[in-house]
Amino acid sequence: NAGVTQTPKFQVLKTGQSMTLQCAQDMNHEYMSWYRQDPGMGLRLIHYSVGAGITDQGEVPNGYNVSRSTTEDFPLRLLSAAPSQTSVYFCASRPGQGRNEQYFGPGTRLTVT
């Protein structure tokens, strides 16, 4: 199993551009989520999904869209990038069915200029 994979590893955007961060998992996990990590703030939840076709907002959802059409994939879309979205983005998944531990991908470092 590759676990949780994310692409790209690094990305530079200009203000106003849009892009999609990709996340995939091959563990057949029900639950997937996106976090952003900023210095001194830990990780904060952006959006999450409890299964295909079901998504919900986390703590910091503004400026981001998600959809979950398959169990394996959970892309994060930045609609109009802003410098405040410069961050490291982590995707995570967990098995569900009473197992609460989440498994994290390697991250995408995004810089918005």
Partner 1 sequence: AQSVTQPDIHITVSEGASLELRCNYSYGATPYLFWYVQSPGQGLQLLLKYFSGDTLVQGIKGFEAEFKRSQSSFNLRKPSVHWSDAAEYFCAVDQEYGNKLVFGAGTILRVKS
Q: Note the residues at the interface with partner 1 (CB under 8 A).
A: 4, 31, 33, 35, 40-45, 48, 50, 56, 58-59, 90, 92, 94, 96, 99-107
Shortest distance, CB of residue 79 to partner 1, whole angstroms? 23
How far apart are alpha carbons 99 and 77 in whole angstroms? 28
How far apart are alpha carbons 112 and 90 in whole angstroms? 17
| Cβ nearer to partner 1, comparing 17 with 45 | 45
| Cβ nearer to partner 1, comparing 77 with 109 | 109
Contact predicate 74/49, CB 8 Å: yes
| Cβ nearer to partner 1, comparing 17 with 104 | 104
Q: Is residue 27 within a helix (H) or strand (E), and if so which, with residue range?
A: none
* Residue with tokens 């091959």, as numbered in its chain: 26
Angle at 7 between CA 59 and CA 2, to 5 degrees: 100
Shortest distance, CB of residue 16 to partner 1, whole angstroms? 28
Lookup: tokens for 99: 């197992």
| Cβ nearer to partner 1, comparing 17 with 61 | 61
Shortest distance, CB of residue 54 to partner 1, whole angstroms? 11
Shortest distance, CB of residue 87 to partner 1, whole angstroms? 14
Residue type, 52: A
